[in-house]
Chains A and B, each alone.
Chain A
């Protein structure tokens, strides 16, 4: 027969839980690595934006409205999706883990509710817009590229879109499951 005090005593005297110097060194390494990754991420993002801007300036010289519409829809949908993803990341990072659990849980629920809106509205819209842009460009690709390269672009785009859809589906499923569990009454 174990009463609660015995359980408590056993709990507090669990072995193998002490801090070690090696453990701290490994932790410090992780902390520094995360800080470096954030810096690298910002550099990569800046370069991507510069490349996209240069590309848009470059293609704006084309006289074909169809081409500009197609490329505009594709790049535009990507930019909107990336912007929303970055905003989400900022929102997630701003959640304060040192608040009391009740407030934290409510903040986390709000975040995942916002993500639900993104997943059900923005993501499908961005995907459809991207696909429409690509379809608009197809006749131009067919007219200007070799048959082999045209087929390569066509099939690689389909494969990319399928892989992307699976990736997004998994992310949506994971986040919606988190939201569902957060909303379970305790």
Chain B
């Protein structure tokens, strides 16, 4: 058990920041909610650790658990206008928390929030700098389709952040 705890602690330390960033992307920068989701992710990591067979890297495995936890838990937070086209959206950060977040980051959160849940996961993984092949493995979507989607979402996101 002690050995499992040590492994778990290392996994936690090495992956917490990226899990937290991904959760922050899902919660539109709501830190408390993101911490809950990150905790939920690591609880599932513990529960599934014995079954981890190293078929994919530990990082890919954790990202899968994190994305799925966010997909399962965050749905009730979705807003009615989530399916609007990004091209028509003007971003306002007036109701966010300006004391702690830089404007660009706040805008980025808002723009990510306008995406569908799957596109949101794809772009969050792209923002993390993951290779598209790994994103494809995490999402279960063909590499070619991921490539096309990433290209489209990147353009939309950049436009949205720049208020174009």
Contact = CB atoms under 8 A, between A and B. Distances in A.
Interface of A: 1-4, 7-8, 10-12, 14, 17-19, 23-24, 26-28, 30-31, 34, 96-105, 108, 174, 177-178, 181-182, 184, 186
Given A30-B43, A178-B75, A97 B69 contact: yes
Secondary structure class of chain B's binding surface, majority of residues: helix
Given A4-B157, A7-B157, A34 B67 contact: no
B75 A182 contact: yes
Contacts of B48: 96-98
Contact of A24 (B9, B17, B64): B9
A19 B158 contact: no
Given A97-B64, A182-B75, A184-B116, A23 B158 contact: no
A3 B154 CA distance: 9
A2 B75 CA distance: 30
A101 B118 contact: yes
B52 A98 contact: yes
A67 B158 CA distance: 72
Interface of B: 5, 8-9, 12-13, 16-17, 20-21, 24, 39, 42-44, 46, 48, 51-52, 61, 64-65, 67-69, 71-72, 75-76, 78, 83, 102, 104-105, 108, 116-119, 121, 126-129, 137-141, 154, 157-158, 161-162
Contacts of B127: 7-8, 11-12
A181 B69 contact: no
A168 to B, nearest CB: 18
Contacts of B138: 100-101
30 contacts: A1-B162, A3-B158, A4-B154, A7-B158, A8-B126, A12-B128, A12-B129, A18-B16, A19-B17, A24-B13, A27-B12, A30-B43, A31-B43, A97-B48, A97-B65, A97-B68, A97-B69, A98-B48, A98-B52, A98-B61, A98-B64, A98-B65, A99-B68, A100-B138, A100-B139, A101-B67, A101-B68, A104-B71, A182-B75, A186-B118
A2 B108 CA distance: 11
A100 B140 contact: yes
Contacts, number: 123
Given A12-B127, A100-B140, A19 B12 contact: yes
B17 A18 contact: yes
B68 A10 contact: no
A24 B12 contact: yes
A42 B50 CA distance: 22
A32 B13 CA distance: 19
A98 B63 CA distance: 8
Contact of B116 (A2, A98, A186): A186
Nearest to B9: A24
B64 A101 contact: yes
B158 to A, nearest CB: 5
Contact of B139 (A14, A96, A101): A101
Given A8-B129, A100-B138, 20 more contacts: A3-B158, A4-B158, A7-B104, A7-B108, A7-B161, A8-B127, A14-B24, A14-B105, A17-B24, A23-B12, A28-B8, A97-B64, A98-B51, A98-B65, A99-B68, A101-B138, A108-B72, A177-B75, A186-B118, A186-B119
